[in-house]
A and B are shown apart, each in its own frame.
Chain A
Amino acid sequence: MEWTEENMLLLIPLGLGWLAVWWLMPTNTKRPRILGGLAAVAALLMLQMMLLPPAGDLVRNGLFFLFAGTAVITAGLMITDRSPVYSALWFALVTLAVCGLFLLNSAPFLAASTIIVYAGAIIVTFMFVIMLAQQSGTSSSYDQQPFQPAVASLGAFLLLGALLFTLQEWGGIDGKNAPDEPKTGQFVALPAGIAANPLSQAPADNPREIGSLRVLGRSLFGDYLFAVELAGTVLLIATIGAIALAPRRSQGTL
């Protein structure tokens, strides 16, 4: 009981979030979805209070909350929308917001490539498939009847609670335990070959450099050359596999 009171600040938003997701799940009974939305907003706000950094760049924090909020809200909308087309579009928004977070994390190249790969290729392909498969336009019955929503979201929120609790207790989520100072490259012991390569290390004085193409490219084609080749092979095999798996069909049918 004592433990519950101590962690009330964590438990309430989790419970609210669970209720919100469960309530927002598509059903074929009429529900005031706004209740779920309100619960979700309340949960996020409470969580946001925990996330508030004690000190920092105002612009940076603002951008962070913008991107993070967008990502989380659109992700929620994506999994609860009854139309798969809208879901796909919400997913595109999630991707954009995540790319914003990437930018904040000094990964401009990654952000760009994610937008190209996801928004440009994957989402479009998904949309094509959805359009082909659901030509009738209305959402199907199976989109309105989720599979065991209550149990699944309860379990998932338990997992989230466990993760957040870990962060709070050992990571210093509110800054009470962790040292509040920047960490640099020598924090984690890297494999000897990689640690010895000065080119793949970001200059300590300029943390923005770590996402630059120069550093990334050297790391990719220096330290991880073999992995890159393997990934290329996997891509090739996946391409062949996709062609082989795709159903043969004549013109005009799916």
Chain B
Amino acid sequence: MREWFYSHYLEFLHDFNQSFIEDDRWLYIVKGLGITITVAVGALILGVIFGVIVAVIRSAHDQRKHKKTKDLGYYLLGILDFICKVYLTVIRGTPMMVQLLIMYFVIFASSTNTTMVAILAFGINSGAYVAEIIRGGIMSIDAGQMEAGRSLGLNYIKTMRYIIIPQAIKNILPALGNEMITLLKDTSLVTVIGLKDMVKGALIIQGRTYQAFLPLVSVAIIYLILVIILSKLLTLLERRLRESDRR
């Protein structure tokens, strides 16, 4: 029995050595982690910016639809709303991987900055989902809040910014957290455009050593840890934002 354990222990040590220590192969994973985080954070910021803009345009259009005065602003809003709808339909209706490939091989075929292309592709994708989440949050706020803000002389944008959005964010944080987690994990797709993220790192190690188990499992564990940290941060943020709900 002891010998059995011992031989397996030696085997593990050998595999570990070969997968990570020899030729400093662990660097593939660590550098890949850097790429994964860069793409995820960049795309997240971009996604939230796109999401807020699209959500505000769509809500503004919905709220103005019944107004009788049809001035220039009304038509402008109509055009913007139409563009937003096309954006949502196309992005949500096509696979992320296809979008990534089109961005890399068609739209930015001449670009050498693969990381930027990946951030842009994921940001645009995430923005569509974030937009609908935020729009849901905006709709969940009582109409009286908008009226109260407007009655004080704040304009639409200021009322949105200081009154509606802060409350909406609080309501949508769980859904937004979900989207962030999905985004973080989906960045593993960048492998298809040749970006050396964690998954690509693991595949490279596998190619060199014929070892699949350790590189892939360690990548899975790193993703898991990242997601757990993210969830914890979101829980903390949620608790902080809920302070005003105490009775």
A binds B: no
Q: Which residues of A contact B (CB under 8 A)?
A: none
